[in-house]
Amino acid sequence: MKILVAVKRVIDPYAKIRVNADQTGIETHNVKLSMNPFDEIALEEALRLKEQGLASEIIVISIGPIQAQETLRQGLALGADRAILIQTDQDLEPLVIAQLLNRISLREAPQLIILGKQAIDNDANQTGQMLAALLNWPQATFASKVTIDQQRVTVEREIDGGLQTLAFDLPGIITTDLRLNTPRFAKLPNIMKAKSKPLEIIASETLGIDLTPRLTTLSIKPPPIRPKGILVHSVDELIDKLRFEAKVI
Amino acid sequence: MKTLLLLAEHDQHGLKPATLNTLTAAKQLSNNITLLLVGPDSERAATQASAYQGVTNVMINNHACYDHGLAENIAALMADLAQPFTYLLAPATTFGKNILPRVSALLTIAMISDVCEIIDDNTFVQPIYAGNALKTVRNLQAKQVLSIRTSAFTAAGELTSTPAPIDVLTQHPQARACTFINQQLTVSTRPELTSARVIIAGGRALQSADNFDTLLAPLATKLNAAIGASRAAVDAGFAPNDQQVGQTGKIVAPELYIAIGISGAIQHLAGMKDSNVIVAINCDPDAAIFHCADYGLVGDLHQIVPELIEKL
Ligand SMILES: Cc1cc2nc3c(=O)[nH]c(=O)nc-3n(C[C@H](O)[C@H](O)[C@H](O)COP(=O)(O)OP(=O)(O)OC[C@H]3O[C@@H](n4cnc5c(N)ncnc54)[C@H](O)[C@@H]3O)c2cc1C
């Protein structure tokens, strides 16, 4: 079985997010960029399936600027077999990302595609579901447990009310939630080896997809600042404040 | 006239509160709103839905292939019904997030997730980067697909004396879909997390599921509160996943949020910083949670919480 894993390069989850001066975007100068944490989990799951003998090849794919090669190299160092970069300097919408991934899926014919449930930059939580729609494949989103028996994939997923278990026959799409697994770190020799693994670069314009944005960003602003609170010094004072000042209890 | 189709979330007991928050957003966009309810138990919720002011029409489809909120068939149905509507909405709950992007792609429409403010017919605000930035987007597509951040809109409450007509749909388009195996839903007598007036949330510092039961639960009972948790607490097994508040858990905005032994990572703040009043109890005076708290109390939760329970 061939597995395709989509990975995005994003601002590191522990970096401080600052809106740029002209309120058109987020400051990325001197900010650490990393693989989207959900995508690390997606890749880890694919690696584990390969280690169980259930997958023969893992392809990592990213859509982004030329620097996203670093993210792909990290994926190769972690154990993916080869990488594809669809290069673009545009900030593409999830629909277009899904359309591009669809093109590559038709070419590569993976049986399983694993994506993070959301990227921590736009928090959109759309791409996996959209790709599943375009391929007319079943989708098991927000996965916290995956088991595969022959062609049958069983996925436990996190839903608002608790946990739900679904199953589908390959091919299909899984999007990952945080509790699916804990990703490994790349070992130094593997980082060296990753440099010689194949990484194909495809220009985004060559895939026959209309990349023009359908939505226009008017502004990006920092959220309103909460008024500064106070420290209270005892439980009695806290109860008093909640009763008589905030009037919430 | 701009028409709107709202995918309602419900269960065997009736409409979910998230649907009513989404209805409030819908009413800002349209005065011709159709609610779509699917699954074998949609009838009771449909009767309820038809009584809300602002609802023009209710459509139900109780075919079994739409049971359990499975995305593939529900998306196929919604895309099939989309033609006459300008807006397609769903709550940004795990139910809506699972289905709506799929509908959007079937219709080749770019979707806007998590709308938290409606500026006009085609201008919307959405949080990005865990709520560290607010993006204003203009959407000039002929048809618009929007998921609604439920905590940003009050629940519609106004009823009408002339209930909307209920149409029973008989077509049932299907797609290659998952099969439902089972689900374990958390049963609780407490208010639902996303609609509770008060939330007591615990973090890693609670140290065990036992402490959630013996310290947080009695406090929650006293205040008729829901119980929330940080990711660290859920990962450690102290609390079930459906209690996680944050960027990747639930987004809440209660009247009162009491964070106990939670450090205040941005991913946690993303889920609760729009609460009306925030209380933080933490033994570390430098914990980030104090920056967003209206009332902070520095100290050991093992002393403070029992004292709170006793004195309330
Ligand atoms: C992609 C991604 C998504 C994430 N999504 C979420 C999310 O949705 N929700 C979420 O919550 N987190 C999320 N996180 C995790 C987040 O970054 C933090 O790791 C997590 O919120 C920390 O949980 P905590 O505050 O309970 O634990 P800690 O950070 O360990 O804090 C424990 C706190 O308890 C205090 N404490 C210790 N003992 C006591 C005591 N006896 N009395 C009082 N106080 C005490 C400590 O001073 C400390 O401040 C996410 C992370 C990533 C990378």
Instruction: Report DSSP state, residue A112.
Output: E
Centroid of ligand 1 to alpha carbon of B289 (angstroms): 10
What's the pLDDT at B253?
Answer: 97
If 0-12 CB within 10 Å is exposed, 13-18 middle and 19+ buried, where does residue B291 land? middle
Domains located in chain B, CATH noted: 4-168 (3.40.50.620), 193-311 (3.40.50.1220)
Question: Which residues 121-160 of B have a C-beta within 8 angstroms of A?
Answer: 123, 127-141
- In this predicted structure, what is the pLDDT of residue B49? 98
CB of A142 less than 8 A from some CB of B: yes
Report d(CA A60, CA B8) in Å as an integer.
Answer: 37
Q: How many CB contacts within 8 angstroms connect chain A with chain B?
A: 250
Looking at residue A135, its pLDDT comes to 98
Facing B137 at nearest CB: one of A17, A138, A218: A218
Assigned superfamily of A2-216: HUPs (3.40.50.620)
**pLDDT, average across residues A136-148:** 98
User: Is residue A247 within 8 angstroms of chain B, CB to CB?
Assistant: no
Whole-number average pLDDT of chain B: 97
| CB neighbourhood size of B266 (10 A) | 20
Q: In angstroms, what separates the C-alpha of A216 from chain B's closest C-alpha? A: 5
> Which percentage of chain A shows pLDDT scores above 90?
100
CA separation for the pair A60, B282 (Å, rounded): 42
Centroid of ligand 1 to alpha carbon of A182 (angstroms): 17
> What average pLDDT does range A187-205 have in this prediction?
97
Cβ within 8 Å, pair A162-B183 = yes
What distances in angstroms separate CA A64 from CA A69, A89, A204, B2, B219, one per listed residue? 9, 6, 9, 37, 48
Provide the pLDDT for residue B1: 73
Query: What is residue A80's predicted lDDT score, i.e. its pLDDT?
Result: 98
Q: Which residues of B touch A217 (CB under 8 A)?
A: 135-138
Task: Please indicate if any CB of chain B lies within 8 Å of the CB of A192.
Answer: no
Give the nearest ligand 1 atom to B287 CA. Answer: 49
**pLDDT attached to residue A198:** 98
Q: What is the pLDDT of residue A136?
A: 98
Distance separating alpha carbons of residues A13 and B129, to the nearest angstrom: 9
> In the beta sheet, which residues pair with residue A167?
A154, B179
Give the residue from A60, A128, A143 showing the smallest Cα distance to A95: A128
Nearest-CA residue for atom 9 of ligand 1: B246
Count of CB atoms within 10 A of residue A176's CB?
Answer: 30
> Which of B21, B98, B132, B179 would best serve as a mutation to test chain A binding (most A beta carbons within 10 A)?
B98
Partner A contacted by B231 (CB < 8 A): yes
Look at the alpha carbons of A71, A73, A78, A84 in this order and tell me if their dihedral is positive or negative.
positive
- Residues contacting residue A83 through CB under 8 Å, at least 6 positions apart: A59, A60, A61, A62, A69, A72, A73, A75, A76, A197, A198, A199, A200
Separation between Cα atoms, residue A86 and residue B279, nearest integer Å: 47
- DSSP, res A241: I
Structure tokens at B214: 């013996």
3-state SS of A141-152 is EEEEEEEEECCE
| Distance (Å, whole) CA B131 – CA B273 | 9
pLDDT in tens, B164-177: 999 999 999 999 99
Q: Which of A218, A221, A230 sits opposite B138 (nearest CB)?
A: A218
For residues B135 and B138, give the distance between their C-alpha atoms in angstroms, rounded to a whole number: 10
Take atom 35 of ligand 1 and give the residue whose Cα is closest. B261
Ligand 1 site: residues with CB under 6 angstroms?
Answer: A 13, 37, 120, 178; B 203-205, 230-233, 244-249, 261-263, 265, 267-268, 271, 282-284, 287, 300-302
Name the residue among A98, A121, A219 with its Cβ closest to that of B136: A219
pLDDT of residue A4: 99
Whether residues B242 and A221 touch (CB distance < 8 A) is answered with: no
Instruction: Using pLDDT thresholds of 50, 70 and 90, give the confidence band for residue B212.
Output: very high
Q: What is the pLDDT of residues B51-73, one digit of tens each?
A: 999 999 999 999 999 999 999 99
H/E element holding A84? strand A82-87
Is A130 near chain B, with CB under 8 Å? yes
Could you read off the pLDDT of A49-74 as tens digits, one per residue?
999 999 999 999 999 999 999 999 99
Q: What are B61-115's pLDDT values in tens digits?
A: 999 999 999 999 999 999 999 999 999 999 999 999 999 999 999 999 999 999 9
Closest chain A residue to the Cα of B115, Cα to Cα: A124
Per-domain boundaries in chain A? 2-216
pLDDT at position A213 over 80: yes
pLDDT band at B143 (very low <50, low <70, confident <90, very high): very high
Q: Is B54 on the interface with A (CB under 8 A)?
A: no
Q: Mean pLDDT across the stretch B272-280?
A: 97
Tell if the CB–CB gap between A239 and B278 is shorter than 8 Å.
no
Question: What does pTM read for this prediction?
Answer: 0.98
